Every structure is written in C-alpha cells, then in structure tokens.
Amino acid sequence: MAVEQVWKGRLTAGLDPRAQRLNDSLPVDQRLWPEELALSRAYSATLGECGVMSAAEVSALHAACDALEQALLEGTVTLTGEDVHSAVEQSLERLCGEPARRLHTGRSRNDQVATLLRMHVMRLADTAIESVRGLERAIVQQARASEHLACAAYTHLQPAQPITLAHWWLAHAQAFARDEERFAAAREAADRMPLGSGAVSGSPLAYDRLSLATRLSFTRLAANSLDAVGDRDFALEYLNAAAMLGLHLSRLAEDLVLFCSPAFGWFVAPDGFSTGSSLLPQKRNPDLFELARGKSARLLANAQRLATLLKGLPSAYQKDLQEDKEAVFDTADTLAALLDGLTPAIAALTPQPERLAASLTPDLLAVELADAMVAEGVPFRDAHRVVGQLWAAAEAAGVEPAALPLDVRLALHPLFDDTHVNALSVQSALARRAHAPGAGSVAEQLSAEEARLGLGPGERVESRAHPVDASDAAPVDPNGGAETAHGPRVLAGGLVLRRARLDDVPGIAAVMAAYVAQGVLLPRPVSELYQCVREFHVVEDDGRIVACAALRVLWKDMGEVRSLAVRPDRHGRGLGARLVEAVVADARAVGLPRIIALTREVAFFERCGFTVEKRETLPRKVWTDCVRCPKRHACDEVAVVLDLVPGASEAAARDARPYTLPMPQALVTEPSLPILS
C-alpha cells in the first residue's frame, strides 16, 4: 500500500519533494512508536466503549499492535510516512484493515502528539532520576572512603580553610539531590493527559477520560483543549532540569580536572576513563571529565532552544512545535551517555593522601587565630586586622607565621604568643565546626545521604558478592513463619526470627547497604523502609539485625520476595530459607496463589522450591518496578516462581499476555484505578 498524507483529501497535489523533506518529522519522532502503540491499544478500547468499534475490531486492532510491535523490535519492518502517527496507523491498516481506519475517530494529531510526548517525558524523567541516584551513590561511597582525609577548601581558587575530602564530595551530592527534585517536578508537569482535546476545541466523543488516562499511566487530565494541544511547558521543564544537571556535572568535572592535574595531584586520572596524547607519551588526560564539562553546553543550549521556540507562538498547536522533540531526544541521549560514563569513572578515582595533606598549609588556620582572639574578648574586626598584619609580616620574612620571632609577633599583639599560635591545628578547626552544615559534620551528612540512597545507615560490613549463600537454602516449610501464636520464633544458636518493628529499620538498612553498593540489591531509601516496615521479617542476634526479607503484594494473584539479605558473617546457617518460609507463610495468610522473586541466586531459590520462569510472563512486576529500574535494559536477574495454589502459574499464563513495551500499559479488561484530578 502506497504511503499517502493523511490530509490529502483537501490538497490533492501533495507536497513538492523539497517541501516534504522539511515537513516530514518521521526521522525524528519515529522513536515514539512504543508510545504510539500503547496509545493505539488504549484508545481503541475507548472507541469500543463508545460503540465506534466492535469488540471484534478492538481485538483485531490489538492483535495488529502486537504483531507490529514484535516486527519493529526484531527490525523486520521499517516505518514509512510523514510522521510516527500516520506511519503506525498505516502499518496497522496493512495488518488489520478497517479497525485501523476507525482508530483516528475523535482525535487529532495535535492531541495525539501532545499525549505521546508527555508519556515519553514522564519516562525520561524517571530514567534521569534513577541515573542521577546512581551517580550520587558513587559520590557518597567516595565520601565514606575519604571521611577522615583532610584537605584545603578554596575560594577564588585560593586556599581558604580546612575541610575533609568527604565534605567536598557531599557538596556535589547536595547539588545532584536538587536535580532529582527538578526531574520529579518535570515528571509531574508531564503527568496530565491531553487526549480529548482534538485539534483545538475538543472531541465530539463523550468517553471516560479517567479510564483512558489510567490505561496510559496518567493521573491527571488537561482541562482546556486549546491549552492542552499547545502546552510544552513540561518539555521545557525537563530540558531545564537537564540543563541544571549539566551545569552541576560541569562543575564537578571542572573540580576533577583540576584535582587530577599534577598541580594538585589529589587524584590520578583513572585507567579506563582517561586517554593519552598522540604526541606526548607521558600524558594522562582526564578527557571524560573534560567532555562532561563540554557536553553541559549542549544541554543548556537545548533548553534555550525550546524556550526561544515557544516564546513567539500564538495559542494552540502550531507546526513549529514539531521542533520540540529533537531537543528532548538529544538531551536524553546526552544525559544517558554522560551518566553512564561518569558514574563508574568517579567510582574508579583513588585519592592520594600525601598530596591532600600537602594542601594543608598554615594559611588555612588564619581565621582560627582570629577566632581564638575573639574568645579572649577582642572584637572580630580588630582580630581580623592584626592577624592580617601577622600574615603580611610572615610573607615579607619568607617564613610561616609561627616561625616569626616571638618579639615580632608580640609587637603586633600580646595574644600572638607561642601558646595561641602553636595551638592552631586542622583537627581543632574541624572540631569547632562539627555542627551542621559545617565541614566537621561529615558523619551526620554521610548518615543522611546513605539513608536517602539506600546505602545505610548502620555499621558497614565487608561483604561477599551475594545477599544469600547457597548453604542458606533448604526446601522451605510452606506452613512455617516468623512467629507462632505465642510470638517470635527461636532458631538455632539463639537467633530470633520475628516481624520487623520501626526501630529495626536502621538495622535492615545496614544489612542491605553493602549489597546495594555492589548493585546486587535495588536501593530502598530509609524513608521507604519505614513506609513498608510491616512487610519485613528480620533475624535478630543479641539485639543486632543480621538478616531480613519482605513480602510485597504485586496484584491479587502474585506476591514477591523482596530485599532478602543475610549478613556475610551469618551465611551458612539457613537464615535465607527461614526468611523465605516466613514470607511464604504471609503470602498464604492473605490468599496469594503464587510468589515470585527476581534474583541472581537461582540455585538458592530452586533449593527453596521455586522454579525458573520468564520475566515477560510477570507483567505486574515488570510494570511496577522493572519499568523504573535503571538496569532494565541490561538486567541479568532471573525470575523464579513458587505456586502456593497448584496450577497458579499456568492459569496466569493463560490470562495475561507478555508485555515488552517500555512503559506501563494496563489490561483493558480490568477496572480503572482511582485517578487524582
């Protein structure tokens, strides 16, 4: 079937080829095909509810969507047409005929493209947040490793006061935490479904927009059709969030370029993330950090580009808005490349303690002497003046202030005696600033950041690579549990298996922290652990939490074993299997027919009675957690299932189709979830 413009009925001559090259947007917007197919499935169900399409036509359209999706994933079909909307529609028409020809009833490409871009930006914002958190975890781990390494802080690139290297790392973590908030705000701005707006004045079809929004994972509805088709604030908010992130990445990169230079020598540019010179054989260039500094200009330009485009537009949809997507896509690609490379590069940095110590010159303690004089009753402005004179005299003499003759010092001020001058130290300077947000409050800052990122708090444990050990496993007793009617369950060696309490949360976080740092377990911020503490069982040894696991109910037919972790020094005692027993007992108690886990410890779960299953057959897990996971595109976890009701997995496989779209999509036969409007 020949490709034709969807508007050709009015202008039968079509476009001049030179105009068509400028007009067609498919080379750019074709990456929205997954969202277009998701919209086609959801909207066809709405048309069925309106009586525009029969149930058989809706079913045929869904089958065509499935077939086209598979062909596009396999690369056996190439989209052709003016834009992604007409290209997908015409491809569906070739597969199912009449149902696809009815699909555009009651909608316009104006509200269609606004919907797709909003869906895409919501997903991009989720991805950005998770990627930034990965970077933050690398930064906080560096901060933890350098908690006690003191160094100079600089203002105007001149030595100012002593801090710890951890304090410097955590300063950057604070900036990236703000970036998370900006991306969350951009996602919220995008979460407003414009469908039903038509071209500009709305659709004549009266349908349940809340139900349609739910199918597309929106929680709010656009209220004005004219505004809805022209609004791109959400895209600009995403680009602005990315621009600010780029700015912060550039500042971090600039610091690292300086600190990796021989003049500082605080770090060595890491192997695998540095390059050499084509001429100078001795060179070790921190090119990755320099590129991060340079790419930030691209992110800033994309935000300015869309803002400039939007400022001159009249109300409603204009063809100019075809230019919005290229900026969004380029920013997303740039961020993905930057964060994918910077995170491991930062993790690979090794501080050089001797060079850090060399930065701790006496100049850093000048204000400490002034403060000591204030403690003796000297007004600060007077103290500031005479300490400046002391440093000037030392500079003129070519010595450190403490090396000036005593009579010279006393001539400037009686408090410049040996007692006061020799009492100055980096340690005392940091100790005097042990309260937030000072450089001496690093322990408090670290605890808060580790809790937020799922890396603590609690004592750190030297960990093996696995949260459970094969010897922890044995066939579970499906009728076992953490507690009997009389309370906690006592295990061998005096260990106690019981339900978690609020005061166990720091201990749970500590058990999980090492595995989160290694990427073995997904991070669960402490705030989230408090919210779901009732899902957890713990093993306690003399007041210390040494193992944990939780049951998460995913849907009416399925629960999940989550956050299963055993301290490495408690491996080999069967604690993992006992915790699985407790989770299974909870699942039985609420009537779940089966329970799953996603794991690399397949042998452990098989010994517990689970069997391997394809992840694609578990849509409730895939579309609640996996879709937001930063590793979803390269996941090496295996799905395992335990049927608590015989035949539960087979029944579920018959009732649900696998999902491979990169965004959530509800089954149209299910009742709508509540919508916030």
Task: Return the CATH number at 178.
Answer: 1.20.200.10
Q: Which of 277, 425, 527, 677 is catalytic?
A: 277
* Three-class HEC string of 558-595: EEEEEEEEECHHHCCCCHHHHHHHHHHHHHHHHCCCEE
Annotation marks residue 486 as catalytic: no
Distance (Å, whole) CA 45 – CA 50 = 9
Residue 661 lies in a domain: no
Q: Which of 156, 435, 486, 633 is catalytic?
A: 156
State residue 674's pLDDT score. 38
Residue 7 lies in a domain: no
Residue 19 lies in a domain: no
Residue 395 lies in a domain: yes
| Domain co-membership, 488 together with 608 | yes
Query: String of b and e for 129-150 (b: at least 16 CB within 10 Å)?
Result: bbbbbbbbbbbbbbbbebbebb
| Residue 20 DSSP label | H
| Domain co-membership, 583 together with 518 | yes
Q: Which among 357, 384, 419 is the end of a domain?
A: 357
Q: Which among 431, 446, 473 is the end of a domain?
A: 431
| Domain co-membership, 367 together with 349 | no
| Domain co-membership, 269 together with 309 | yes
State residue 480's pLDDT score. 55
Alpha carbon distances (Å) from 488 to 180, 481, 493, 498, 499: 40, 9, 15, 5, 8
Please, which residues bridge with residue 189 across strands? none
Identify which of 533, 612, 606, 532 has the alpha carbon closest to the alpha carbon of residue 576.
606
| Domain co-membership, 427 together with 470 | no
Domain span at residue 185 reads 109-357
State residue 149's pLDDT score. 97
The tokens describing 40, both together, are 């086609």
The domain spanning residue 505 has which CATH number?
A: 3.40.630.30
Q: Are 27 and 65 in contact (CB under 8 A)?
A: no
State residue 660's pLDDT score. 36
| Domain co-membership, 338 together with 255 | yes
Regions in the chain scoring below 50 on pLDDT: 1-2, 458-464, 484-486, 657-677
Place of tokens 């906690």: 488
| Domain co-membership, 48 together with 134 | no
| Domain co-membership, 296 together with 379 | no
| Domain co-membership, 342 together with 367 | no
Q: Are strands 594-599 and 558-566 parallel, antiparallel or unpaired?
A: parallel
Annotation marks residue 156 as catalytic: yes
Residue 448 lies in a domain: no
Count up the domains in the chain and report the number.
4
Distance (Å, whole) CA 586 – CA 535 = 9
State residue 457's pLDDT score. 56
Measured at the CA of 584, the angle between CA 509 and CA 535, to 5 degrees, comes to: 35
The domain spanning residue 419 has which CATH number?
A: 1.10.40.30
State residue 625's pLDDT score. 63
Residue 317 lies in a domain: yes
Residue 14 lies in a domain: no
| Domain co-membership, 351 together with 366 | no
Residue 583 lies in a domain: yes
Q: In what order do the strands lie in the sheet with 483-484?
A: 483-484, 487-490, 496-499, 536-541, 544-555, 558-566, 594-599, 638-643, 611-613
Distance (Å, whole) CA 277 – CA 66 = 51
Q: Which among 336, 357, 378 is the end of a domain?
A: 357
Distance (Å, whole) CA 201 – CA 196 = 9
Identify which of 161, 654, 129 has the alpha carbon closest to the alpha carbon of residue 433.
161
| Domain co-membership, 79 together with 61 | yes
Q: What is the pLDDT of residues 495-531, one digit of tens each?
A: 999 999 999 998 999 899 888 888 788 888 888 999 9
| Domain co-membership, 163 together with 262 | yes
Please, which residues bridge with residue 566 across strands? 547
Name the phi and psi angles at 273, rounded to 5: -130, 15
